[in-house]
Amino acid sequence: MTTAADIPAMHERLLDVDGKKIFVAEVGQGAPVLLLHGGGPGASGVSNYSRNIAELAKEFRVIVPDLPGYGRSSKGIDPTDPFGALATGIRGVLDQLDLEKAHFVGNSYGGACALRLALDTPQRVDRMVLMGPGGIGTTRALPTPGLNSLLNYYTGEGPSRQKLEKFIRDYLVFNAAHIPDSIIDARYRDSLDPEVVADPPLRRPKSLRALWKMDFTRDKRLNRLPVPTLVLWGAADKVNRPSGGRMLAERMPNCDLYEFANTGHWVQWERADLFNRLCADFLAGRR
């Protein structure tokens, strides 16, 4: 299995997107693929895809941004339409890289970003892989314990290593023993960025209108979205309910669904080898 140490040297830069900076790292040649990370505390692009970049870069031009509000990108997300704000920022990345369209791979918050971008501008998306994306059926059930843990990280007494470890070990993955302390330490350190603490990029919707807008199953455009899509979901996901995968498969006209047994919310990390094969084959049109 590949690890962070196996990632080849990546070209890094800060792109100016409508006056805000978005950090991008890239490696490889071929069809462009953007890897969009999840929204957990301390998340960033390269760290979230440390087990996938090297394999995918054997066949694709792999582009890994830090989403707006995260990592080395500018902070601050419009709380009234966070998915739209993320999609606008990443669409700006395409513009800055002179890419008419690209493949997208999105985990959780990044999956919501990719799906919103595809709904707003389907002509910019070639193929799309979504892993436990956010915003699926969120108005049809109460938040999961895992999502509550995630949303409560910056509230109450504020961020702590104990809160982050509980989220990662109890909710993010299926087998907590597979998570080294170094991952928790790095995520905790990055979660303490003063700008993020003051303005968290992931928070509870403040109005019913915002909540409704963040549930893609309420968006009629989903039923006619032409983008070929592969949905990957851990059967033991405690953050976003696995039933969301079936909701997408039932609504989207060109959607395949693969559910991973004994896997939590972090599919691309927990089942990296299988994920890499499925993702590469789908994006290359081999399945």
Residue positions annotated with a catalytic role = 265
Residue 157 has phi, psi (to 5 degrees) of: -80, 0
Give the residue among 187, 178, 140, 186 at the shortest CA–CA distance from 40: 187
Q: How far apart are CA 72 and CA 70, in angstroms?
A: 6
Contact 167, 149 (CB under 8 A): yes
Give the CA-trace dihedral at 258, 264, 268, 272, to 10 degrees.
Answer: -90
Residue 188: other Cβ atoms inside 10 A: 19
Residue 179: other Cβ atoms inside 10 A: 17
Residue 278 has phi, psi (to 5 degrees) of: -60, -45
The position carrying tokens 């998915």 is 83
Give the CA-trace dihedral at 194, 197, 200, 202, to 10 degrees.
Answer: 120
